[in-house]
Amino acid sequence: MNRFLTKKMISSIVALTLLLGVGVLIASRDTSSTTRNAALVAGTPCKKPGQVTKVSKQSVVCAALSPKNIWYPVFQEKKWICAKLGGSRKQGGIYSVCGKNKSSKKRWFLTMPLTSKSNAGLPTTDQDAFIKLTTNPELIVETSPTTPIALAASTETTLIPATETTRASNTVSTTTVSTSTTTAPRSTTTAPTSTTGATGPNIVRVPIEVVPAIDFGPATPYPERVSVSLYKLGVGTDCSTVPYTLVTSATSARIGSQEIATFTDIPSGTYYVGIGGCDTGTVGDFDRRNITTYRVLIDASLPSQLTTPIRLSKTTRSVTASASIRGTQSAITSMTLSGGFLSDDLAGEATGSGSSTTYFFWGVPPGVYTLTMVQSPYPNRLERVTVGDRNLVTPTYEMSGMVVVPTTPILVPA
- What's the fold here for domain 317-398? Immunoglobulin-like (2.60.40)
Position 161 scores a pLDDT of 37
Please, which pLDDT band fits residue 142 given cuts at 50, 70 and 90?
Answer: low
CATH 1.10.357 at 203-314, yes or no: no
Q: What is the Cα–Cα distance from 195 to 197, expressed in whole angstroms?
A: 6
Position 38 scores a pLDDT of 56
Do 62 and 38 touch, CB atoms closer than 8 A?
no
pLDDT digits (tens, 9 = 90+) for 71-96: 999 988 988 888 889 999 888 888 99
Q: What is the mean pLDDT of residues 163-183?
A: 37
pLDDT digits (tens, 9 = 90+) for 221-234: 999 999 999 999 98
Q: Which of 387, 377, 207 is nearest to 309 (CA)?
A: 207
Position 264 scores a pLDDT of 93
Please, which pLDDT band fits residue 135 given cuts at 50, 70 and 90?
Answer: confident
Strand residue runs (E) in 223-333: 227-239, 242-251, 253-255, 258-264, 269-275, 281-283, 286-288, 295-298, 304-306, 310-314, 317-325, 328-330
- Name, in order, each residue with C-beta under 8 angstroms of 99's C-beta and a sequence gap of 6 or more: 50, 51, 52, 61, 62, 74, 77, 85, 86, 106, 107, 108, 109
pLDDT digits (tens, 9 = 90+) for 176-233: 333 333 333 433 333 333 344 576 789 999 999 998 887 777 889 999 999 999 999 9
Q: What is the Cα–Cα distance from 160 to 18, expressed in whole angstroms?
A: 52
Q: Where in the chain is the domain with CATH 2.60.40.1120?
A: 317-398
Position 408 scores a pLDDT of 54
Tell me the CA distances in angstroms from 275 to 225, 234, 241, one per residue in order: 10, 19, 16
Q: What is the Cα–Cα distance from 48 to 336, expressed in whole angstroms?
A: 42
Position 267 scores a pLDDT of 93
Question: DSSP 3-state assignment of 127?
Answer: helix
Q: What is the Cα–Cα distance from 155 to 229, expressed in whole angstroms?
A: 32
Res 154 pLDDT > 80 = no
Position 401 scores a pLDDT of 64
Q: Which of 324, 319, 317, 318 is nearest to 381 (CA)?
A: 324
Res 329 pLDDT > 70 = yes
Do 320 and 358 touch, CB atoms closer than 8 A?
yes
Please, which pLDDT band fits residue 413 given cuts at 50, 70 and 90?
Answer: low
Position 44 scores a pLDDT of 87
